[in-house]
Amino acid sequence: MALYGKIYLMAKTTVNDFLKKKSEGKKIVMLTAYDYPFARLADEAGMDALLVGDSLAMVVQGLETTLPVTMDEMIYHTRMVSRGAENAMVIGDMPYMSYQVSVEEAVRNAGRFIKEGGAQAIKMEGGSEVCDRIVAFTKSEIPVMAHIGLTPQAVNRMGGYKVQGKSDEARKKLLEEAKAVEDAGAFTLVLEAIPMDLAKEITESISIPTIGIGAGPHCDGQILVMHDVIGLFDRFV
């Protein structure tokens, strides 16, 4: 924060700020945002980062899952959020089938979030199976927030929105996935719907910050869906 006369100016949150907060034991605070007014309010409240989540399919568009939302729709909402976020980092969420087909298509779509949407980073679901994408994004100067545990785009394979990592085998796999995305170059990692003791173990085993959603209090930060926080959605995402 810099002082000019009587006006305090907050600098834009960066990747380095995320890493510094983990090293200093300070919590990272995040919300989702999908438009200018809510982005402005969240930014003024002091959020470190705003995620333009594919959850907009459910809480904004009224769909049953996140799967139908398109790249063009995500870019549209990211652009609005970017206009409202003066200080918070804006992170665009890669929608279903925007990165699965090929590395080249994934890089092209991720780049749209930065170039067209005004985001500073992207989020992508998956572990070791997307590490080649993380490497490619990093080489293209696109910071990556990874996401493991309950990954909503895999809802059909998982058989619903269920807590992950409860068996010994599943715990071991998630620990390995966390290390894999760190090694690939992700700067932070979302842990969704996993046991809190596992989230604590992962958080202590990697050098990048963990952001929890339904993963207990031991992560380096937390993220919630804006519409859940203020009661605008009839279901909990």
Structural domain containing residue 32 = 15-229
Residue 235 within any structural domain of the chain: no
Residue 44 within any structural domain of the chain: yes
DSSP secondary structure, the chain, as one string: -EEETTEEEPPPP-HHHHHHHHHHTPPEEEEE--SHHHHHHHHHTT-SEEEE-TTHHHHTT--SSSTT--HHHHHHHHHHHHHH-SSSEEEEEPPTTSSSS-HHHHHHHHHHHHHTT--SEEEEEBSGGGHHHHHHHHHTT--EEEEEES-GGGHHHHTSS-----SHHHHHHHHHHHHHHHHHT-SEEEEES--HHHHHHHHHH-SSPEEEESS-TTSSEEEE-HHHHTT--SS--
Residue 193 within any structural domain of the chain: yes
**pLDDT reported for residue 237:** 57
Tens-level pLDDT at each residue, the chain (237 residues): 444 454 555 689 999 999 999 999 999 999 999 999 999 999 999 999 999 999 999 999 999 999 999 999 999 999 999 999 999 999 999 999 999 999 999 999 999 999 999 999 999 999 999 999 999 999 999 999 999 999 999 999 999 999 999 999 999 999 999 999 999 999 999 999 999 999 999 999 999 999 999 999 999 999 999 999 998 877 765
Active site residues: 192
Residue 132 within any structural domain of the chain: yes
Instruction: Calculate the alpha carbon distances from 72 to 5, 77, 154 in Å.
Output: 42, 9, 21
pTM of the model: 0.94
Residue 234 within any structural domain of the chain: no
Residue 213 within any structural domain of the chain: yes
Residue 7 within any structural domain of the chain: no
CATH number at residue 164: 3.20.20.60
Q: How many domains does the chain have?
A: 1
